Structure 1
Amino acid sequence: MLKLHVSIHMCDMLIGYARVSTDDQDLSLQRVALLGVDCTRIYEEKISGARRDRPELARLLDNIRAEDVVVVTRLDRLARSTRDLLEIAERLNERGTGLRSLAEPWADTTSPAGRMVLTVFAGIAEFERALIHQRTSSGRAAAKARGVRFGRPPKLTADQIGLGSRLVSEGTSVREAAKLLKCHHATLYRALGLEQVRGSNV
């Protein structure tokens, strides 16, 4: 679970991050807002938030130092989901770096209230993952009890296996029977429970 312990000092450096999704969108409003709170450096990029490979965000995360504070105008400029936000917040926390959103003052890990809110979010996300896992496990168990089979479907139906068995018992070779059933002969060997002899034409 996320454990935030960043504190803010007067000498902390504010690092801005601005993002828009397409080339025809403008970064100027975000830039003005970030400069307005005295960000000394701003990383900017025009790329969809759905993409994991955001080069400028990666550069920011590589270059931040302890006691820096990453500032965004809105959280959706930084993260594409709650889980993504928590992962980024954890990376910042590991570096001793804070996170602040101008539009969401509750998301300020340099304040006790902000740290508490993100810690609660992390707990909720962990609870949701555990709940999904529990529901999935219960659903699979119930399905198995009803006779539902998981994994790859069989390549031959019961009728095809029955036909293959009859053909082989009547003297047709496994290879010829497999051709008639339009399957590989090894598949028919397995389905009939026969042992295949390497190089055999049976």
Structure 2
Amino acid sequence: MMVGELNYQSNFLDIYLDNKFPFPFLTFYLLVMFIIFMPILLMNMMIGLAVGDIAEVQRSAALKRIAMQIELHTNLEEKMPYWLLKRVDQSSITIYPNRKCSRFWSRGEANEVRTRLLTNSSNSTPVEAELRKQKYRLKEISSVLEKQHDLIKLMIQKMEITSEADEHDGPTEVKGDRQRSNWGQAKGSKWIPLMKAIKGNNVLNTSP
């Protein structure tokens, strides 16, 4: 039935005429629904596949068109004389703004080449536009990271936290000097009253 071969006479009609159909109404109802909806579903599936193929054909056609244009230009350049190509094809141009042109047509040619170079430089490719977006995004991320770094440094300064790099930075200290320096730093800390209160509570709890 999926491939279109229903074989209606032997599978449905003969059995129905011989009164051997167990559920004739339900069977014919499902058959009619299958005949109506299956072509619609198959056509939709084929249209979806065709649309996908059209997009792929368009991409390959664009590349093929560029290849044909390159081939055409190459064939034309091969047929033209070298002196003409050297005169017409100019990859760069030097402009002297304070020097007057001796000929009117040379000035027009220079203006034409300048316009062509400016239009080529102004029209950016999609890759260049995407790279420009990524560059701006990286700048924003770096600025946000710098702000977060400054905020973390400010929080560390407010909480009076010393890192391991700050502790071990500098010459090696004697153990006694290090203890005295740590005690001197701890004397000015705001956590000392809290530690004393905790120790006092521990002493009261352990005493009989």
Which bin holds the TM-score, normalised by the shorter protein?
under 0.3
Higher helix proportion, which one? 2
TM-score, scaled to structure 2: 0.26
TM-score, scaled to structure 1: 0.26
Say which one has the larger Rg: 2
Select the structure with the greater relative contact order (CA < 8 A; seq sep ≥ 6).
1
